[in-house]
Amino acid sequence: MKFAFENLLLSIQDAQSIVLSTHRQCDGDGLGAEMALFHALKQIKKKVKIINVDKTAKKYRFLSPDEHILYFEEHPDTVIQADLVLIFDTNDERLLKPLYGAFLKSQAKIIFIDHHPRLQLGPAPTIPSWIDTSAASTGEMAYRIIKGLQIPLDVDIARALYTSITFDTQLFRYIRNSPVSHEIAAELVRLPIQPQVIHKHLFGEQTVSKMKLLAQALGQIEYFDDGRVASLKLHSEDLRKNNLDPDDARDGIDFLMNIDMLEAAVLFREDGPSLYKLSLRSKGRLEVLDIAETLGGGGHLYASGAQVKGKYETLRDQVVAHLIRSLNK
Ligand SMILES: [Mn+2]
């Protein structure tokens, strides 16, 4: 691990031009990490670019992503020219399709920087990666890189790192029993980053239409195994109609996990006919990574996801049965 980190620093120091990226439908963690590195690498005069698979959700507008990021879906003919590509918050190349193909075509060295466990069933990264599953966010890892390169923090870097850390820990709820998230945050908030404004953007921008949609969805939760397992379904089309991002569906399952009896839940976001984005959550008594991997996805032990095709009832029954089996093991 130490070796991987030192090699990573050397690779960055050696590279003249660096491309930064993260998984598709980026979240606050991957976005914050790449933007922090972007501002930091500019300081040491690297030629640096962020290229993401697809557009950034509206709630991250406060970081001005559109001014800094090239979206591959809008420029699919982009030829990547770089010495080094750093990919944050995933080690699953499938989550960067079709951009990953363009990375492979370039001569660049590719390195994953991630806190998700390596996939057991999916494609294992054959390239050198720095993976630290004890990190509560990729932002924490980006912070260590910036410190390792001895780049002083400025407001832009601090704001982006703070976004990563608060997003992935959900405002310090999920800190992996470590003081590190708080320690880094304490250093960041000494800069004028207006942390309360960031909290509001990340967690406090619920609209009336979103509340209506969530209320409707939450009214249709199905419970199993005496209320210890729940399943919820949302339509992407409904999100779109209400001017919400697909990403907003996640709030549904996070909200659900506040129910005291519940141990695990699954959210089916219908993205097309018989096409679902699954999100799985567990409070810790059972793991939900194995089922996600079985379905061709990945993630963390207690928060995972996959994209699946099939009939809703069949998929739901399959996933729910698996969750109940794991719970009773
Ligand atoms: Mn993350």
- pLDDT at residue 2, rounded to an integer: 63
pLDDT along the chain (329 residues), means of 10: 85 98 97 98 98 96 97 97 97 95 95 92 74 96 98 98 97 94 98 98 89 88 96 90 84 89 96 95 96 95 96 96 95
CA of 136 to the centre of ligand 1 (A): 7
Q: Same domain for 134 and 185?
A: yes
* Beta carbons within 10 angstroms of residue 50's beta carbon: 21
- pLDDT at residue 126, rounded to an integer: 62
Q: Are 285 and 263 in contact (CB under 8 A)?
A: yes
Q: Same domain for 219 and 187?
A: no
Q: Which residues contact 102 (CB under 8 A, 6 or more apart)?
A: 72, 78, 79, 80
How far is residue 112's CA from residue 129's CA, in Å, rounded to a whole number? 5
- pLDDT at residue 78, rounded to an integer: 96
Of 203, 225, 259, the residue that ends a domain is 203
CA of 56 to the centre of ligand 1 (A): 16
CA of 226 to the centre of ligand 1 (A): 32
Q: Same domain for 199 and 214?
A: no
CA of 74 to the centre of ligand 1 (A): 25
- For residue 6, the enclosing domain spans 2-203
CA of 225 to the centre of ligand 1 (A): 30
- pLDDT at residue 54, rounded to an integer: 97
The CATH number that applies at residue 218 is: 3.10.310.30
How far is residue 278's CA from residue 250's CA, in Å, rounded to a whole number? 10
How far is residue 216's CA from residue 211's CA, in Å, rounded to a whole number? 8
CA of 182 to the centre of ligand 1 (A): 16
Q: Same domain for 147 and 185?
A: yes
CA of 115 to the centre of ligand 1 (A): 7
CA of 26 to the centre of ligand 1 (A): 10
CA of 76 to the centre of ligand 1 (A): 26
Q: Which residues contact 45 (CB under 8 A, 6 or more apart)?
A: none
Q: Same domain for 159 and 235?
A: no
